[in-house]
Amino acid sequence: MIIDCHGHYTTAPKALEEFRKRQVNGLKDPSLSPAKDSLRISDDQLRESLEGAQLKLQRNRGTDLTIFSPRAGGMGHHIGNAATSALWSGICNELIHRICTLYPENFVGVCQLPQSPGVKPDNCLAELERCVKEFGFVGCNLNPDPSGGYWTDPPLTDKWWYPLYEKLVELDVPAMVHVSASCNPNFHFTGAHYINADTTAFMQFLTSDLFKDFPTLKFIIPHGGGAVPYHWGRYRGIAQDMGRPPLKELLLNNVFFDTCVYHRPGIELLLKVIPADNILFASEMVGAVRGIDPETGHHYDDTKRYIDAIDWLSAGDKEKIFHGNVRKVYSRFTAHSTTC
Amino acid sequence: MIIDCHGHYTTAPKALEEFRKRQVNGLKDPSLSPAKDSLRISDDQLRESLEGAQLKLQRNRGTDLTIFSPRAGGMGHHIGNAATSALWSGICNELIHRICTLYPENFVGVCQLPQSPGVKPDNCLAELERCVKEFGFVGCNLNPDPSGGYWTDPPLTDKWWYPLYEKLVELDVPAMVHVSASCNPNFHFTGAHYINADTTAFMQFLTSDLFKDFPTLKFIIPHGGGAVPYHWGRYRGIAQDMGRPPLKELLLNNVFFDTCVYHRPGIELLLKVIPADNILFASEMVGAVRGIDPETGHHYDDTKRYIDAIDWLSAGDKEKIFHGNVRKVYSRFTAHSTTC
């Protein structure tokens, strides 16, 4: 079985985007705010949005199941306030739940949190609990920068986030560290903000004792860990210079990397320097890069091909990467798959 | 000849730091502001600060010359205002000039610019010109985020920066894109802010037509290009999806990467995916990582060893990386070395 741990619902019917536009317009003129039940998307529309996209690509590429969450770039936590974010997150998560119900063999849910800059994450606990307990979701996406590129909230290692971590531990679900759109003109969202956030989060973890406080807390750092594996020597060296424990001991019980790296040399580096126990297969399709690489004739984001082609990777390590580690990190996924 | 294109004066006598402290204290109470000539550092103190550090490491590692600039983390453009920055930059650059005069065989200068957040870079032109024309410096460090981690100035591709680029082109000197300290608690300076800035700058260049406006402008992106080579497929794919030209055509006449990547797998990746014409040898010693890697028994930042060990790299490409490209990118360096 091949599980892709990182997929977003990037192909939602236009009605969703139109609802969001009305919601944003309503921030200026509350009379324009749409009622939640004004959004109508039928099951057939959901099916149609997936059949020619994620489901087709699953079939073509030979992957089985995607851990699926709302569109990351669409979370837009910087827009409006906590109430804006609560309504929008609820809607997006409910769509994911409907998709997972329509296609239980193909999708397992992960939720967006109703974060808002400057608002304590305590306001996310109820939605997280609803998604896990009522919808059977197996994790959440945690935005380390709800400001959308100005980084005005505290680091992920600050006690500010602890109530959320307590809930994650209680529910036994991991968080994928994933920013959303950037409203800072310095940062292109998929080309800079995403990758920078991955690198930033790792370095925050490296300099803190967060995992002493939460030994079972688990984070997935997406996009192959940002810059981290490429600079693994730098991070080992910085930790050493700071008198921190070796990275393996300090972090690798709690921090995992996905394989969203869109060329073979990058994937090879990742597999060389990061233990197989800490790598989870992912493609983020349909996502940041949708084209076909003229150098290979295949989609850039068909990451399974790169892994399949690496002949020095043992069968055991491949199994871990393709599904074993997902069952370990997303521990509720095991429960899900045994009850389905 | 082996030229290290990225070294900072990180080992300055304490008097420099003490002067800076007095300068910062003077921001609150101008009566405490030090006069420029109150800073006294003798030639012997300069020699002493280098003999046991950069010069010793040059000898031990078999490198010949370092392109040398003030300490990047110390530039602190976010501190005070343009006048603060002008005084401080002048002092730091003059120290580099003295060092290059004391050791003309070992160091060639690159200047810090008197940037200040929200202040147009026009105020940097005179200092740049002084350093190049009077001191014989061959380039500058350009901070893409003078705010120190809040990224409040325009992207490097904005016309805001054009007067500086006009001067760089006129003087025929390149800029290394290099941030300074981070005052944003989210970003560790050498572990996140530096690497993020490298990635960010590359993506800014990718999305703009800056090099149509300045076909001869040259940037060095340090720290192995941040996350870029590791995600080269992602960047090729994003450019393609956006309808931009191939990266080679779009950027690689103007953008170069250094080799400050502190483990062999990272260096191998860099050399595999980036053309040798675009790679400049560098170590950033004495810098971000000062320890010895227990896996190799050598300093993490002894990057020459990693390159030397790569047997598939041709002699011609090694020559380009170790010195040929430096002469091409820092075109005034050629002039310097023929007149010395």
Average pLDDT over residues A316-332: 97
| pLDDT classification of A334: cutoffs 50, 70, 90 | confident
CB A302 within 8 A of CB A264: no
CB A224 within 8 A of CB A259: yes
What DSSP assignment string belongs to A229-243?
A: GGGHHHHHHHHHHTT
Q: Best residue in B182, B186, B267, B284 to probe A by mutation, most A CBs within 10 Å?
A: B186
CB burial string B153-183: b at 16+ within 10 A, e below: bebbbeeebeebbebbeebebbbbbbbbbbe
Is the C-alpha dihedral spanning B144, B153, A161, A144 positive or negative? negative
Average pLDDT over residues A84-95: 98
CB pair distance less than 8 Å for A191 and B234: yes
Predicted pLDDT of residue A337 = 57
Of B231, B225, B296, the residue nearest B261 (C-alpha): B225
Task: Give the distance from residue B118's alpha carbon to the nearest chain A alpha carbon, in angstroms.
Answer: 14
Contacts of B289 in chain A (CB under 8 A): 233-234, 237-238, 241
CA distances from B224 to B103, B177, B309 (A): 27, 12, 18
CB A251 within 8 A of CB A177: no
Closest by Cβ to B199, choosing from A207, A227, A288: A227
Look up tokens 């200092």; give the residue: B127
Cβ neighbours of residue A125 closer than 8 Å, sequence gap 6 or more = A163, A164, A167
The distance of Cα B212 from the centroid of its chain, to the nearest Å, equals: 24
CB B69 within 8 A of CB B8: yes
Predicted pLDDT of residue A250 = 97
Q: Point out which residues pair with B220 in neighbouring strands.
A: B176, B256
* 8-state DSSP, A244: P
Strands B107-109 and B65-70: parallel
| Cα–Cα distance measured from residue A44 to residue A57, given in angstroms and rounded to the nearest whole number | 19
Predicted confidence (pLDDT) at residue A168 exceeds the cutoff of 50? yes
Look up tokens 């304590």; give the residue: A120
Closest by Cβ to A233, choosing from B204, B237, B262: B262
Look up tokens 């580099």; give the residue: B96
Predicted confidence (pLDDT) at residue A340 exceeds the cutoff of 80? no
| Cα–Cα distance measured from residue B140 to residue B108, given in angstroms and rounded to the nearest whole number | 12
Positions of chain B with pLDDT lower than 50, given as ranges:
338-340
CA distances from A66 to A108, A171, A303, B24, B311 (A): 6, 21, 13, 54, 41
| Cα–Cα distance measured from residue B236 to residue B226, given in angstroms and rounded to the nearest whole number | 16
CB pair distance less than 8 Å for A231 and B154: no
Q: Mind listing the pLDDT tens digit for each residue in A6-48?
A: 999 999 999 999 999 999 999 999 999 999 999 999 999 999 9
Please tell me which residue in B17, B268, B284, B295 is annotated as part of the active site. Answer: B284
**Following CA atoms B205, B114, B288, B310 in sequence, which dihedral angle do they give, to the nearest 10 degrees?**
40
Cβ pairs bridging A and B (under 8 Å) = 198
Q: Best residue in A161, A263, A306 to probe B by mutation, most B CBs within 10 Å?
A: A263
Is the C-alpha dihedral spanning B241, B243, B247, B252 positive or negative? negative
The amino acid sitting at B305 is R
Q: What angle do CA B231, B232, B235 make, to 5 degrees?
A: 90
Contacts of B231 in chain A (CB under 8 A): 195, 223-224, 261-263, 266
Considering chain A, what percentage of its residues have pLDDT values greater than 90?
Answer: 98
| Cα–Cα distance measured from residue A28 to residue B242, given in angstroms and rounded to the nearest whole number | 32
Which residue in chain A is spatially nearest to B261 when comparing CA positions?
A231
The distance of Cα A305 from the centroid of its chain, to the nearest Å, equals: 21
The amino acid sitting at B51 is E
Element spanning B66, H or E: strand B65-70
Look up tokens 């032109």; give the residue: B125
Predicted pLDDT of residue A336 = 59
Q: Mind listing the pLDDT tens digit for each residue in A223-237?
A: 999 999 999 999 999
Three-class DSSP category at B16: helix
| Cα–Cα distance measured from residue A291 to residue A282, given in angstroms and rounded to the nearest whole number | 17
- Residue B293: phi and psi, rounded to 5, are -75, 115
Which residue in chain A is spatially nearest to B236 when comparing CA positions?
A293
Q: At what angle do helices B14-28 and B82-102 cross, to 10 degrees?
A: 170
Predicted pLDDT of residue B334 = 80
Burial class (CB in 10 A: 0-12, 13-18, 19+), B112: buried
Three-class DSSP category at A9: strand
A75's tokens: 């979370």
| Cα–Cα distance measured from residue A278 to residue A275, given in angstroms and rounded to the nearest whole number | 6
CB B173 within 8 A of CB B206: no
Q: Mind listing the pLDDT tens digit for each residue in A189-200?
A: 999 999 999 999
CB pair distance less than 8 Å for B227 and A230: yes
CB A65 within 8 A of CB A106: yes
